[in-house]
Amino acid sequence: MVAGGKGGRIINVGAKQGLSGAANHAAYGASKAALLRLTETLALELKPEGINVNAIIPSIIDTTANRNTLPNADPGRWVHPNSLAGVMGFLASDAARDISGALIPVYGGTL
């Protein structure tokens, strides 16, 4: 992107567990926390090049794998993949040209 000189958008996908610890998820939470700091740092470094860097932070995403892993949970409260796609589409659009370094929570019906 830098070499091309036309700017661009980078959208990272974090996770709510990157914001606070959770038992039995040390490596996952640490890696997601690192991704959020990377997002903030790259936003500062690449803004002069016209490259915006943001991250979305979903809670549980309504996927087949999550439904199988959490059979007693209420998937109606989870984030639908189309919701994430909508936020990502916005961040990739010209309407978000002034947004960089944002960590955007997408939690659906969960907190």
Dihedral, 14, 15, 17, 18 alpha carbons, nearest 10 = 10
Q: Round to whole Å and give the CA distance between 51 and 42.
A: 9
Paired with 13 in beta bridges are 56
**Catalytic position from the list 25, 28, 81, 97:** 28
* Pairing relationship of beta strands 51-58 and 103-106 according to DSSP bridges: parallel
Q: Round to whole Å and give the CA distance between 111 and 70.
A: 17
Q: Round to whole Å and give the CA distance between 63 and 5.
A: 37
Q: Is 28 a catalytic residue?
A: yes
Element (H, E) at 6: none
Active site residues: 28
